[in-house]
Chains A and B, each alone.
Chain A
């Protein structure tokens, strides 16, 4: 066994769900961009918490509560280190990227935007990084502008100086496209945005599982993360923000935990990070999220990345081999061919609706996503209603990709009859 294969096996063994049968077929799970499977340590942490450690956290009067608080806050520290934030108070726990972005739009956005101001996003955004900005722009009379995308699914930055101007107060940009896998040149964009006085929010939903994250090096003002894209449970995410910005922002939701003192005359707010964490949080899942990060750290992002690149290459060879059998036509058309990508491949079979392809693949136990991937404007840019998207993680194997390619070959053969 080569070292590469040994790594995949070691990783794969930790994920119980991968060994399930779906409709009597072995599961080939290629929908990792939608959500990842969870390693045993994450599952154990969830069970462990409710069996041995459950208590409400903060202001702990008894030992059980003190312990739960300790574990919860330990995850905050783990996240801080994972993203290289300067201070642990800059890590706010939310429900996920969608809530993180809504939080910034509704607090920072609301306090800063004036009529005629501009918010800049890109043509490849997920709806969670479009709609919150549409909503706040409408409320404040601000204008939403969009960086266009080219045919390869890369940002067109030729006219960036007409889009990112002194009128731009916020640039909110996806780091890695969920539909196309494109890695955007965010460091450059952040630098440029800062020269015109705009703050930058990065949608890091896909990026955090695949790329090194150093918020200080990037100098982004905000970063949104979701646990469930990173081998952690759903319902938990992070908003990172520079302390100065978070301190100046009004609170998002009101309630317990986020207050200092409450009277009917006036209420004062708690300090960071609690100012933005109203109510009892998703304690068990935050703790389990910490274990997911531990898994990534132990395995090593470089190892994960290398395996994923290998899988992408194997898939690409498979696509080419199908296309070669039908010279003159292109039964498999890749959508999203950026120079820099993560292990996500959208494609279409021009002869067939993505829905039909998805169902046929499902019949062989292969899980992919079909449709607009919550990026309707992007799909429209390509003149499509949707695509079929295969997204690989480091627990997928070349054999699984072979099964996938065989299934596609069969579908192509049938549609060519």
Chain B
């Protein structure tokens, strides 16, 4: 368990640096014990995410989602089965309260995808 948490912290270090300007309350994920920001943008039909957290373990969790979903189309994000969450024993690792925070990250990123799915497609 401990080694998994260390691993998550190491993964979090791989998250590209987020622009401080985007670290506003508007982009805070609700229901997280730590501060987690996710800022979306839409470039050539694909979602780009900037993300950061003030705590290392949560940053690692964000990295997991970022590594799967960054630079993906809204359809791809919508269709993803995040099977790995259960497989890695997320609930046991971070507890049910923090799992809710993680679920909120997923929900928010999917919501961004849904919004951009409505955007007019470039010719």
Contact = CB atoms under 8 A, between A and B. Distances in A.
Interface string A351-382: 01101100110011000000000000000000
A94 B34 CA distance: 34
Contacts, number: 30
Contact of B34 (A23, A353, A364): A353
Interface string A371-413: 0000000000000000000000000000000000000001000
A62 interface: no
A355 B33 contact: yes
A356 B55 contact: yes
Nearest to B58: A355
Interface string A327-357: 0000000000000000000000000110110
A23 B57 CA distance: 18
Q: Would you call the interface of chain B mostly helix, strand, loop, or mixed? A: helix
A412 to B, nearest CB: 12
B2 interface: yes
A364 B33 CA distance: 21
A23 B6 contact: no
A360 B8 CA distance: 11
A23 B92 contact: yes
B57 A355 contact: yes
Contacts of A6: none
Contacts of A360: 2, 5-6
B3 to A, nearest CB: 9
A219 to B, nearest CB: 43
Contacts of B34: 353, 355
A188 interface: no
Contacts of B56: 352-353, 356
A59 interface: no
Give 4 nearest A-B pairs by CB, closest first. Answer: A363-B2, A353-B55, A363-B1, A355-B55
Interface of A: 23, 352-353, 355-356, 359-360, 363-364, 410, 414
Interface of B: 1-2, 5-6, 9, 33-34, 54-58, 92, 94
Given A353-B34, A355-B55, 18 more contacts: A23-B1, A23-B92, A353-B54, A353-B55, A353-B56, A355-B34, A355-B57, A355-B58, A356-B56, A356-B57, A359-B5, A359-B57, A359-B94, A360-B2, A360-B5, A363-B1, A363-B2, A414-B9
